[in-house]
Amino acid sequence: MRDKEQPKRPNRPKLSLHVPEPSFRPGDTPDFSSLEIPDAGSVPKPDLTASPAETEPLAKTLVRVLDDDGKAVGPWDPKLDADTLRKILRDMVLVRIFDDRMYRAQRQGKTSFYMKCTGEEAIAITTAAALDRDDMNFPTYRQQGLLIARGYPLVEMMCQIYSNKGDKLQGRQLPIMYSDKAHGFFTISGNLGTQFPQAVGWAMASAIKGDSRIAVGWIGDGATAEGDFHAGMTFASVYNAPAVLCVVNNQWAISSFSGIAGAEKATFAQRATGYGIPGLRVDGNDVLAVYSAVRWAADRARSNLGATLIEFFTYRAEGHSTSDDPSGYRPASEAKAWPLGDPIERLKAHLIALGEWDDERHEAVRAECDAQVRSAQKEAEKLGILPEQGRDNVESMFDDVYAEVPWNLAEQRDQAVAEGRD
């Protein structure tokens, strides 16, 4: 007898499976008016030495600094100088333009794949600003802003995207899977979540060596469901690892909304509670809030107070990647309707409110960034675009599997070179 054929009990309620459903699907008019958004400045800022339990309320709310008038308010205001803010603003503009150009390059057949971070620029860029230059990131594919903020050359990025002769990764990685040690940017993995506990391992190593540098682990809302998230949290908790652990909750994981990762029942920041580490939930489109939260977490880590989990609440304004068309699973107008706005516009408004910015200067920066991206693109394309690659240097394909090429790879290399490719 199969289990399910056992007699049912009519005096018991029938169980049913709950399958989370996002608020809006194609055809619906998105309306976020019921979304609870705490006022900017309304959330208290605890001492660095506060116990994780004291910080629990911060995991259920939203740390916000910029109010609707572009003013910075409340205890989380990091009181940054205007130059720093302008640098962040410029970096955000630059990333957005970069994303647009590279997206287009993919559409033009110049490469195989691209992923934008549109709408989420504040998170990586501001984090880079709040960290020390030699802190180490273990990013996902949506933290290109870290590289740009740390001054990694655009041409290098583009060469990677084109897998061309200038690509230091020698055409071995999918576009945007950057790696750069000198910029504290660990090699991006195509496998979701793996980098999160790796960051904790790096932080443990830093602690073992009595170093002062910290590690930053990154993960998306969807990928928090992976076992690696739990591994990272557990090891961070047990060894008090000096790490800042960032969940970028852009509410979507390809076509699945964050409810499929558990967001209906608790915030991602709340996951921290069960590990006895503080969890902060932060408006990811508010540069000042992001800065302040990262700084708070980094300072804790540096003071041997252990890891902090930060949930950056944001919205993935465009498709998941060039392989995705989001209009198949959510209203096309949803991004526009998203109430926490655009991080660039919000910082711009703040700088204008401070009297430190205006539309003309903004437009000038935009034009400057545009020119910078175009010129980088020209330079990169001189070194080739993807469709022309993979013909030369076929023997390089067999390097770096090991430090030294073993006999089997040496034989295969000879064969590949003799044969040529199709």
Partner 1 sequence: MPVMNMIQALNSAHRVAMERDPDVVVYGEDTGYFGGVFRVTEGLQKQFGKERSFDAPINEGGIVATAVGMAAYGLKPVIEIQFADYIYPGYDQIVSEVAKIRYRTAGEWSMPMVIRSPYGGGIFGGQTHSQSPESLFTHIAGLKTVIPSTPHDAKGLLIAAIEDPDPVIFFEPKRIYNGPFDGHHDKPVKPWSKHPASEVPEGHYTVPIGKAAVVREGNALTVLAYGTMVHVALAAVEERGIDAEVIDLRTLVPLDIEAIEQSVKKTGRCLVVHEAPRTSGFGAELVTLVQERCFYHLEAPVERVTGWDTPYPHAYEWAYFPGPKRMKTALEKVMAD
Ligand X SMILES: Cc1ncc(C[n+]2csc(CCOP(=O)(O)OP(=O)(O)O)c2C)c(N)n1
Largest Cα separation within the chain, whole Å, is 77
Which are the contacts of 216, defined by CB distance < 8 A and separation ≥ 6? 127, 131, 135, 136, 137, 138, 199, 243, 244, 245, 246
Distance (Å, whole) CA 195 – CA 201? 10
| Contact status, residue 135 vs residue 216, Cβ threshold 8 Å | yes
C-alpha R_g of the chain: 23
d(CA 104, CA 383): 18
Asked whether position 140 contacts Mg ion by CB under 5 A, the answer is no
Place of tokens 């904790």: 200
Q: Which is nearer to a second copy, 9 or 79 (CB)?
A: 9
Among positions 198-227, residues that touch Mg ion (CB under 5 A) are: 220-222
| Distance of alpha carbon 280 from alpha carbon 50, whole angstroms | 13
Query: What tokens appear for 115 in the block?
Result: 């992923």
Give the integer Cα–Cα distance in Å for 362 and 356. Answer: 11
Residue 121 lies near Mg ion (rule: CB under 5 A): no
Stretch that binds Mg ion, among 144-152, 248-256, 280-288, 354-362 (CB under 5 A): 248-256
Q: What mask, x for binding a second copy by CB under 8 A, covers residues 284 to 303?
A: ------------------xx
Q: Smallest distance, Å, CB 140 to Mg ion?
A: 9
Q: Which does 230 bind (CB under 5 to 8 A by kind): ligand X, Mg ion, a second copy, none?
A: a second copy
Question: Cβ closer to partner 1: 14 or 79?
Answer: 14
Tell which positions 81-110 bind a second copy, by CB under 8 A: none
User: Which option in Mg ion, a second copy, ligand X, none does residue 192 bind, with CB closer than 5 to 8 A by kind?
Assistant: ligand X
Q: Can you tell me the distance from the alpha carbon of 56 to that of 252, in angstroms, rounded to the nearest whole number?
A: 25
Q: List the end-to-end C-alpha distance of the chain, in Å, as a whole number.
A: 57
Q: Which of 185, 275, 291, 357 binds a second copy (CB under 8 A)?
A: 275
Binding residue for a second copy (CB under 8 A) from 79, 181, 391, 421? Answer: 181
Structure tokens at 281: 């939930």
Decide whether 166 or 220 has the Cβ nearer to ligand X.
Answer: 220
Judge contact between 242 and 304, C-beta under 8 A: yes
In the complex, minimum distance from the CB of residue 197 to a second copy, in angstroms, rounded to a whole number: 10
Q: Give the footprint of ligand X on this chain (CB under 6 A).
A: 140, 142, 190-192, 220-223, 248, 250, 252-254, 316, 320
Q: Is 250 in the site for Mg ion (CB under 5 A)?
A: yes
Neighbours of 320 (CB within 10 A): 18
Q: Which of a second copy, Mg ion, partner 1, none sits in contact with 23, Cβ below 5 to 8 A by type?
A: none
Burial 94-121 (b: 16+ CB within 10 A, else e): bbbbbbebbbebbeeebbebbbbbbbbb
Candidates 230, 361, 366, 413; binder of a second copy (CB under 8 A) is: 230
Which entry of partner 1, Mg ion, a second copy, none binds 12, CB below 5 to 8 A by partner kind?
a second copy
Minimum CB separation of residue 83 from partner 1 in Å reads 32
At position 298, the amino acid (one-letter code) is A
Q: Judge contact between 332 and 126, C-beta under 8 A.
A: no
Which listed residue (42, 84, 179, 240) binds a second copy by CB under 8 A? Answer: 240
Binding site for a second copy (CB under 8 A): 3-4, 6, 8-9, 12-20, 52, 134, 136, 181, 204-214, 225-231, 234, 237-242, 259-262, 264-266, 270-277, 279, 302-304, 306
Query: What residues make contact with Mg ion under the rule CB under 5 A?
Result: 220-222, 250, 253
